[in-house]
Amino acid sequence: MSKKTRNQGIVVFVVFYIIIVICDLVCSSNEAYSDLRNITKPSILGSLIIFFLAHRKGLGISIFRLMILALLFSLAGDILLLFVIQSQLFFIAGLVMFLLAHVMYILVFLKKHNKHKKNKIFLMLTVAYGAGLFYLLYPGLGDMLIPVMVYMIVILLMSNASYLREKRVSQMSFLMVFIGSLFFMISDSILAFTMFYQPLPMSNIWIMTTYATAQLLIVCGVLRQKNQIF
Protein backbone atom coordinates (compact mmCIF):
# COMPACT_ATOMS: atom_id res chain seq x y z
CA MET A 1 0.00 0.00 0.00
CA SER A 2 1.44 3.37 -1.03
CA LYS A 3 1.84 6.19 1.48
CA LYS A 4 -0.72 8.29 -0.41
CA THR A 5 -3.33 5.51 -0.31
CA ARG A 6 -2.60 4.89 3.35
CA ASN A 7 -3.02 8.57 4.19
CA GLN A 8 -6.31 8.70 2.29
CA GLY A 9 -7.53 5.71 4.26
CA ILE A 10 -6.61 7.43 7.51
CA VAL A 11 -8.52 10.58 6.54
CA VAL A 12 -11.57 8.48 5.66
CA PHE A 13 -11.37 6.71 9.02
CA VAL A 14 -11.04 9.97 10.98
CA VAL A 15 -14.14 11.35 9.22
CA PHE A 16 -16.00 8.10 9.96
CA TYR A 17 -14.81 8.22 13.58
CA ILE A 18 -16.05 11.79 13.99
CA ILE A 19 -19.44 10.79 12.59
CA ILE A 20 -19.71 7.95 15.12
CA VAL A 21 -18.82 10.31 17.96
CA ILE A 22 -21.41 12.86 16.78
CA CYS A 23 -24.05 10.13 16.59
CA ASP A 24 -23.23 9.10 20.15
CA LEU A 25 -23.45 12.71 21.34
CA VAL A 26 -26.87 13.07 19.71
CA CYS A 27 -28.09 9.83 21.29
CA SER A 28 -26.77 10.81 24.72
CA SER A 29 -28.43 14.22 24.51
CA ASN A 30 -31.84 13.06 23.31
CA GLU A 31 -33.94 10.74 25.44
CA ALA A 32 -35.77 9.45 22.37
CA TYR A 33 -32.51 7.97 21.02
CA SER A 34 -30.90 6.97 24.32
CA ASP A 35 -31.30 3.23 23.65
CA LEU A 36 -29.12 3.60 20.55
CA ARG A 37 -26.16 4.41 22.81
CA ASN A 38 -25.81 0.67 23.30
CA ILE A 39 -24.59 0.73 19.70
CA THR A 40 -23.00 4.15 19.24
CA LYS A 41 -20.84 4.27 22.36
CA PRO A 42 -19.13 0.86 21.92
CA SER A 43 -18.69 1.70 18.23
CA ILE A 44 -16.24 4.47 19.12
CA LEU A 45 -13.64 2.11 20.57
CA GLY A 46 -14.73 -0.72 18.31
CA SER A 47 -13.87 1.29 15.20
CA LEU A 48 -10.60 2.45 16.76
CA ILE A 49 -9.59 -1.14 17.51
CA ILE A 50 -10.23 -2.11 13.88
CA PHE A 51 -8.20 0.90 12.72
CA PHE A 52 -5.34 -0.04 15.03
CA LEU A 53 -5.33 -3.65 13.82
CA ALA A 54 -5.32 -2.49 10.19
CA HIS A 55 -2.21 -0.31 10.73
CA ARG A 56 -0.27 -2.30 13.31
CA LYS A 57 2.26 -3.73 10.84
CA GLY A 58 5.76 -2.80 11.91
CA LEU A 59 4.78 -2.14 15.51
CA GLY A 60 6.67 -4.15 18.14
CA ILE A 61 4.79 -7.20 19.39
CA SER A 62 4.95 -6.16 23.06
CA ILE A 63 3.60 -2.66 22.31
CA PHE A 64 0.93 -4.18 20.09
CA ARG A 65 -0.26 -6.52 22.85
CA LEU A 66 -0.33 -3.79 25.47
CA MET A 67 -2.20 -1.43 23.14
CA ILE A 68 -4.81 -4.05 22.31
CA LEU A 69 -5.33 -4.71 26.02
CA ALA A 70 -5.66 -0.97 26.69
CA LEU A 71 -8.25 -0.59 23.95
CA LEU A 72 -10.19 -3.70 24.99
CA PHE A 73 -10.24 -2.60 28.63
CA SER A 74 -11.45 0.83 27.48
CA LEU A 75 -14.19 -0.78 25.40
CA ALA A 76 -15.26 -2.89 28.38
CA GLY A 77 -15.30 0.24 30.53
CA ASP A 78 -17.47 2.07 28.01
CA ILE A 79 -19.98 -0.76 27.95
CA LEU A 80 -20.12 -1.10 31.75
CA LEU A 81 -20.68 2.63 32.24
CA LEU A 82 -23.78 2.41 30.05
CA PHE A 83 -25.50 0.62 32.93
CA VAL A 84 -24.45 2.89 35.81
CA ILE A 85 -28.05 4.01 36.29
CA GLN A 86 -28.95 0.44 37.26
CA SER A 87 -26.27 -0.04 39.92
CA GLN A 88 -23.17 1.69 41.24
CA LEU A 89 -21.39 -1.65 40.83
CA PHE A 90 -21.29 -0.98 37.09
CA PHE A 91 -19.49 2.29 37.78
CA ILE A 92 -16.93 0.53 39.98
CA ALA A 93 -16.42 -2.20 37.38
CA GLY A 94 -16.05 0.43 34.65
CA LEU A 95 -13.56 2.31 36.81
CA VAL A 96 -11.49 -0.88 37.18
CA MET A 97 -11.52 -1.43 33.42
CA PHE A 98 -10.27 2.08 32.71
CA LEU A 99 -7.73 1.75 35.51
CA LEU A 100 -6.33 -1.32 33.76
CA ALA A 101 -6.41 0.52 30.42
CA HIS A 102 -4.33 3.34 31.90
CA VAL A 103 -1.85 0.84 33.33
CA MET A 104 -1.45 -0.67 29.86
CA TYR A 105 -0.91 2.79 28.38
CA ILE A 106 1.70 3.54 31.04
CA LEU A 107 3.60 0.37 30.09
CA VAL A 108 3.38 1.31 26.39
CA PHE A 109 4.69 4.82 27.00
CA LEU A 110 7.52 3.66 29.26
CA LYS A 111 8.87 1.47 26.49
CA LYS A 112 9.93 4.74 24.83
CA HIS A 113 11.04 6.35 28.07
CA ASN A 114 13.70 9.04 27.64
CA LYS A 115 15.96 8.47 30.65
CA HIS A 116 17.49 11.93 30.24
CA LYS A 117 14.15 13.76 30.24
CA LYS A 118 13.62 15.98 33.27
CA ASN A 119 10.10 15.61 34.63
CA LYS A 120 10.07 17.59 37.89
CA ILE A 121 8.09 20.63 36.72
CA PHE A 122 5.41 18.67 34.86
CA LEU A 123 5.18 16.19 37.74
CA MET A 124 4.63 19.05 40.21
CA LEU A 125 1.98 20.59 37.95
CA THR A 126 0.05 17.32 37.65
CA VAL A 127 0.32 16.64 41.38
CA ALA A 128 -0.99 20.15 42.11
CA TYR A 129 -3.83 19.62 39.62
CA GLY A 130 -4.71 16.26 41.15
CA ALA A 131 -4.57 17.62 44.69
CA GLY A 132 -6.83 20.55 43.77
CA LEU A 133 -9.38 18.29 42.11
CA PHE A 134 -9.29 15.84 45.00
CA TYR A 135 -9.87 18.70 47.45
CA LEU A 136 -13.07 19.60 45.60
CA LEU A 137 -14.28 16.03 45.28
CA TYR A 138 -13.41 14.77 48.76
CA PRO A 139 -16.67 15.75 50.55
CA GLY A 140 -18.78 13.87 48.02
CA LEU A 141 -16.69 10.71 47.56
CA GLY A 142 -17.96 8.65 50.49
CA ASP A 143 -17.29 4.95 49.89
CA MET A 144 -15.62 5.82 46.58
CA LEU A 145 -12.75 7.64 48.32
CA ILE A 146 -10.07 4.94 47.87
CA PRO A 147 -11.08 3.82 44.33
CA VAL A 148 -11.16 7.42 43.06
CA MET A 149 -7.86 8.25 44.78
CA VAL A 150 -6.15 5.24 43.19
CA TYR A 151 -7.63 6.06 39.79
CA MET A 152 -6.47 9.67 39.99
CA ILE A 153 -2.92 8.59 40.84
CA VAL A 154 -2.81 6.16 37.91
CA ILE A 155 -4.11 8.65 35.34
CA LEU A 156 -1.60 11.25 36.53
CA LEU A 157 1.13 8.64 36.15
CA MET A 158 -0.15 7.88 32.65
CA SER A 159 0.14 11.52 31.63
CA ASN A 160 3.63 11.76 33.12
CA ALA A 161 4.70 8.59 31.31
CA SER A 162 3.53 10.12 28.01
CA TYR A 163 5.58 13.24 28.77
CA LEU A 164 8.73 11.14 29.16
CA ARG A 165 8.56 9.93 25.54
CA GLU A 166 9.93 13.21 24.19
CA LYS A 167 13.02 12.78 21.97
CA ARG A 168 12.66 8.98 22.01
CA VAL A 169 10.00 9.15 19.28
CA SER A 170 9.21 11.62 16.51
CA GLN A 171 7.91 15.00 17.65
CA MET A 172 4.53 14.28 16.06
CA SER A 173 4.23 10.94 17.86
CA PHE A 174 5.18 12.58 21.15
CA LEU A 175 2.71 15.45 20.76
CA MET A 176 -0.18 13.21 19.72
CA VAL A 177 0.22 10.89 22.70
CA PHE A 178 0.99 13.67 25.18
CA ILE A 179 -1.98 15.82 24.12
CA GLY A 180 -4.13 12.68 24.09
CA SER A 181 -3.15 11.94 27.70
CA LEU A 182 -4.11 15.49 28.70
CA PHE A 183 -7.50 15.10 27.01
CA PHE A 184 -7.94 11.87 28.98
CA MET A 185 -7.23 13.74 32.21
CA ILE A 186 -9.74 16.43 31.27
CA SER A 187 -12.41 13.88 30.35
CA ASP A 188 -12.03 11.93 33.59
CA SER A 189 -11.88 15.15 35.60
CA ILE A 190 -15.18 16.38 34.15
CA LEU A 191 -16.77 12.99 34.83
CA ALA A 192 -15.55 12.98 38.44
CA PHE A 193 -16.55 16.61 38.96
CA THR A 194 -20.04 15.90 37.64
CA MET A 195 -20.53 12.74 39.69
CA PHE A 196 -19.02 13.80 43.00
CA TYR A 197 -19.20 17.61 43.13
CA GLN A 198 -21.85 19.18 40.95
CA PRO A 199 -23.24 18.56 37.43
CA LEU A 200 -21.79 20.70 34.66
CA PRO A 201 -23.83 22.01 31.71
CA MET A 202 -23.56 19.63 28.74
CA SER A 203 -21.14 17.51 30.78
CA ASN A 204 -21.73 14.36 28.72
CA ILE A 205 -20.83 16.18 25.52
CA TRP A 206 -17.57 17.45 27.01
CA ILE A 207 -16.75 14.07 28.55
CA MET A 208 -17.28 12.07 25.36
CA THR A 209 -15.67 14.63 23.05
CA THR A 210 -12.47 14.83 25.09
CA TYR A 211 -12.47 11.06 25.67
CA ALA A 212 -12.88 10.17 21.99
CA THR A 213 -10.21 12.71 21.04
CA ALA A 214 -7.85 11.29 23.65
CA GLN A 215 -8.19 7.72 22.43
CA LEU A 216 -7.75 8.70 18.78
CA LEU A 217 -4.64 10.80 19.46
CA ILE A 218 -3.02 8.11 21.60
CA VAL A 219 -3.62 5.37 19.04
CA CYS A 220 -2.37 7.49 16.13
CA GLY A 221 0.59 8.69 18.16
CA VAL A 222 1.67 5.18 19.10
CA LEU A 223 1.28 4.00 15.50
CA ARG A 224 3.41 6.94 14.45
CA GLN A 225 6.33 5.43 16.42
CA LYS A 226 7.05 3.00 13.64
CA ASN A 227 7.42 5.85 11.13
CA GLN A 228 5.25 4.09 8.57
CA ILE A 229 1.95 5.85 9.10
CA PHE A 230 1.12 9.32 7.77
pLDDT for residue 1: 55
Residue 225 is predicted with a pLDDT of 83
Share of the chain above pLDDT 90, in %: 73
Residue 164 carries which DSSP code?
T
| pLDDT digits 0-9 by tens, 30-54 | 888 888 999 999 999 999 999 999 9
- pLDDT per residue as tens digits for the range 143-181: 899 999 999 999 999 999 999 999 889 999 999 999 999
* Residue-wise pLDDT tens digits, 176-223: 999 999 999 999 999 999 999 988 888 899 999 999 999 999 999 999
* DSSP-derived secondary structure letter, 222: H
pLDDT at 229: 40
What are the extents of the domains in the chain? 3-226
3-state secondary structure 4-28: HHHHHHHHHHHHHHHHHHHHHHHHH
Contact assessment for residue 127 and residue 86, using Cβ atoms and an 8 Å cutoff = no
| Mean pLDDT over the full length of the chain | 91
pLDDT at 230: 38
CA distance linking residue 166 with residue 211, whole number of Å: 23
If we measure between CA atoms, which residue out of 108, 130, 77 comes closest to residue 222?
108
